[in-house]
Every structure is written in structure tokens, then in C-alpha cells.
Homo-oligomer: A and B are copies of this chain.
Amino acid sequence: MKQYSQMTATELQAEYNAVKQKYDELLGQGLKLDMSRGKPGPDQLDLSVGMLDTVTSSTDLKSRDGVDCRNYGGLDGLTELKELFADILEVPVGNVIVGGNASLNMMFDTISQAMTHGMGGEPWMKQGTVKFLCPVPGYDRHFGICEYFGIEMINVPYTDEGPDMDMVEELIKDEMVKGMWCVPKYSNPDGIVYSDRVVKRLAAMKPAADDFRIFWDNAYVIHPIFGECDKMLGIYDECVKAGCPDKVIMFTSTSKITFPGAGVAAMAASDANIERIKKRMNYQTIGPDKLNHLRHARFLPDIKAVREQMSKHAAKMRPKFEAVLTVLDRELGGLGIARWKKPNGGYFISMFSEKGCAKRIVGLCRDAGLILTSAGATYPYGIDPDDSNIRIAPSFPSPEELTQAAELLCVATRLATLELFTKR
């Protein structure tokens, strides 16, 4: 088929009529589909139920160090889990804190601490309006934390190898720029893997603010879908080499390795950062749920076990991503009205429509029974300046549902674009 931009007015009108009819047919089908949430499917959760049998009334309830995991004690997690996360995050064991069930909570708390107590300097709340760099499109919950604390967010566009570093290096000259969000591997939603060059530039850059921190949310650190997991340069090692180990704070969790909500989260940082954070934790918590740590340590005794688990997840995810990508290629390929990439890992497919169409597409889908992530959600303040990005989350529905959903999405994309083009 011709690209829409090459069509005459008459051709566009004919195409509009045909697509409108298709859409109206879909409207009548009473579909109930959801591609909005990056949550694992039930078949993925089944991969971890064996973990629940590792800690029962008839198992040893002591950790490797002899700690009775049923009682109080320990602030930063079981040694065996610290070792595991040290391997995953490529940091020394002593620089790891293993916590509760959500890395989001750790990020929120770390920023909360910076606001009230600072990150080595004055409390951020006392310094004026703090700013954060936000590579876009990105993760709405990161932006939500900033919004909650009144932190001003500055969009930084992505290139194929990570955030636009020229822009980042310029923006960090402002000493009120105190932080930056990064999802460095299989970025949410674009699936971008930061290149070695980008990691090196992030590690080497010298922000005006001494208390600037990169919030390195490595949520998909070991989460491939197609082929081997991408290799990345270790940001912490690079920061150490560059003489600024304090600049980065890393986060990850087993939410998409074992159970979302019943997993284990971890963070890692320099000695100074960890000391600062543990000082707060001493007041805040009696320590993490060690029985859940024990379950994880027994189910995932080493990084090899995690990799095996993740290849099982990938096998469940592949047909789902393929279902969506196949439909996108077939229904939108060659029309020149949307672009997307096949991600190697992570949880999302990110589609960019013609400017000004994303909200309309999401609305058309909703009306016909398909829930998508709200247009704009992938940008600070919920505002996509181009109204173009749509986040597709193929993990939860079945491949059959995904095919239906993607077909509807394509019809909606064509219709919204034709509405725009025929109005011109």
C-alpha cells in the first residue's frame, strides 16, 4: 500500500471510509482487552510457585549465617541475597542493600531523604527548586516521585544509544539539577540499551551540583526476550574510575523474576551513599522480611539460576511480543504513519504515531474495548509534547488476545492519522 503522505485527497478519503468501516465493525464486537500494564502473565508467575515451598514449617528457617529469619535483626538483608544482587548489579557485596518488596519504594525513600536531609549537602528542600533530568519517553512512576516532591522535570530526548548526552552535559551545568532518571537496559518503554559510550559519558560528566545523583533503575537488568541478554558497561566501575563513585545509585528487584509485589528489591551505591542511606533506615525500619529473603536465596542460589529463570520468562514473552510485532508490521508497515522497534528485552513496545495523534488513538482503542497506557503517561507531568508516543505492554494478555488488540490498535492508528490528514 502507498504511504499515506503520498496519497491524494481522494485516495485518503477512500482509505478513511474503508478504515472507518473496519473500526465501526470492531466497535460492535464488545472487545475487552488490556495492554496497559507491564505485569507478568499468570504463566510467568507459575514459574516461581516452587519458591513458596522452600520456606515451610518443615524447612530450616535459618540463613547461611545462622540467622533465625523468623525474628528481628539485620538491616540490609541476608548475605546470600546481597551476594546475588552484587553479581546482578556488578558491584561489591558491601555496597548492596537488600530491602522490601519494591525498588520504587527505595527510590522514593532515597529522594525523600535527599529532600529532608540532603545527599551530602544541604537538604534539597532548603536549596530552592530542585530539577531532575528525565530521558523521554520514560517511566511514569519515576516522574510521579518528582511531581510529589515538587521537583522540576526537564525532558531529555533519547537517541538509539541512550539519552542525548550533549544535552545532558549542558543541563548539568545548572547546580539546581540534582538528579537524573535512567532505565539503562531495555528502557521503559523504548527498550533502548545504553551504549558503552553513553555509560562512560554519564560516569565522566561533572555536574555543577556535588549532590547530583543518577538514579539508575536497572529494572530489566537481566530480562532479555530475544536472544542473549545485552551486555552493558558497569556504571559503578566507570564512576569509580572517573573518581566520582557517589554519583550513581542503582536499583533493581525481582518483581519480574519471581513475583511482582512479593519479590525482593535491592539498591547499590558507594560507601558514602550506603552509609548515609543506612543511617536513615536505622530510624525507619526494623529490617526487611528475612523469610522472603530466604525464599529467594533458596530458589535463586546464584546468578546462573536467575539466568535460567529469565530464559523461561523470555520463552513465555517471545510469542506475545511476536504477536504484536507481526500485526504492527503487517498493518502499519509501509504506511509511513508510525514507527516502533523490536526490543531485545524489557516489558514494552514503544510506538510513535504522527504528531498529535496519540491521545486520539488511545481514545479510539478505549471506546472499542482496548485499554492502553494513557497517552502522555511516558512523559513528565503526563504531557507528551508531540502527542505521539504510545506504550504497548504485551506481557499480560495471551498471544491471541494480543493479536486482536494489536489489530484494533492498528485500525485506530490509521483512523486517527486519516482524520488528521483529511482535515488538512
Collect the chain B residues with CB atoms within 8 Å of residue A285's CB: 102, 104-105, 108
Task: With both chains docked as a complex, state the minimum distance between the C-beta of A55 and any C-beta of chain B, in angstroms.
Answer: 6
Segment among A5-13, A143-151, A360-368 that sits at the interface with chain B = A143-151
Contact call A71/B261, Cβ cutoff below 8 A: yes
Closest 7 CB pairs of A and B: A49-B57, A262-B291, A148-B283, A45-B70, A108-B284, A72-B260, A70-B259
Could you tell me if A57 and B61 are in contact, using CB atoms closer than 8 angstroms? no
Chain A contact residues (Cβ within 8 angstroms of B): what range?
Answer: 35 or more
Q: Which residues of B contact A29 (CB under 8 A)?
A: none
Q: Which residues of B contact A52 (CB under 8 A)?
A: 55-57, 291
CA of A125 to CA of B127, assembled, Å: 13
Q: Which of A16-74 contact B (CB under 8 A)?
A: 37, 39-40, 42, 45, 48-50, 52-53, 55-57, 61, 68-74
Known A-B contacts: A105-B286, A144-B283, A148-B283. Give 18 more (CB < 8 A): A39-B71, A40-B71, A53-B57, A56-B56, A72-B260, A74-B261, A101-B289, A102-B285, A102-B287, A125-B125, A145-B283, A145-B284, A147-B283, A261-B286, A261-B289, A261-B290, A289-B292, A292-B292
A110-130 Cβ-contact flags toward B at 8 Å (1 or 0): 001001110000000100000
Question: How many copies of the chain does the oligomer comprise?
Answer: 2
Instruction: Give A291 to B57 CA distance when docked, in angstroms.
Output: 16
Q: Are B50 and A259 in contact (CB under 8 A)?
A: no
Q: Which residue of B lies closest to A149 (CB)?
A: B116
A391 to chain B, nearest CB (A): 16
Give the Cβ gap from A384 to chain B, nearest Cβ, in Å.
20
A284 touches B45 (CB 8 A): no
For A241, the chain B residues whose CB sits under 8 A away are: none
**Complex: how many Å from CA A101 to CA B39?**
23
Across-interface contacts of A144 in B (CB, < 8 A): 282-283
Contact: B69 with A262, CB < 8 Å? yes
**How far apart sit A348 and B39, CA to CA, in the bound complex (Å)?**
45
Most buried by B among A45, A112, A288, A290: A112
Given known A116-B115, A116-B125, A262-B291, contact A284–B57 (CB-CB < 8 A)? no
Contacts of A255 in B (CB 8 A): 72, 286
Q: Please tell me if A280 contacts chain B, counting CB pairs below 8 Å.
A: yes
Give the complex CA separation of A116 and B39 in angstroms.
31
11 cross-chain CB contacts under 8 A: A39-B73, A45-B71, A49-B61, A52-B56, A70-B260, A71-B259, A101-B286, A104-B284, A141-B283, A261-B288, A262-B290
Give chain B residues whose Cβ lies under 8 Å from the Cβ of A74. Answer: 261
Q: Mark A272-301, 1 if CB is under 8 A from B, else 0.
A: 000000001011111111111000000000
Answer whether residue A376 sits at the interface, using C-beta atoms and an 8 A cutoff.
no
Contacts of A284 in B (CB 8 A): 104-105, 108-109, 145
**B residues near A42, Cβ cutoff 8 Å:** 68, 71
Is residue A394 contacting chain B, with contact meaning CB distance below 8 A?
A: no
Are B261 and A73 in contact (CB-based, < 8 A)?
yes
Distance in angstroms between the alpha carbons of A100 and B262 in the assembled complex = 10
Q: How far is the CB of A206 from chain B (nearest CB, A)?
A: 29
Distance from A30 Cβ to chain B, minimum over Cβ atoms (Å) = 22
Q: Least Cβ distance of A130 to chain B in Å? A: 12
Cα A61 to Cα B48 in complex, Å, equals 12
Q: Does B283 lie within 8 Å of A260, measured CB to CB?
A: no
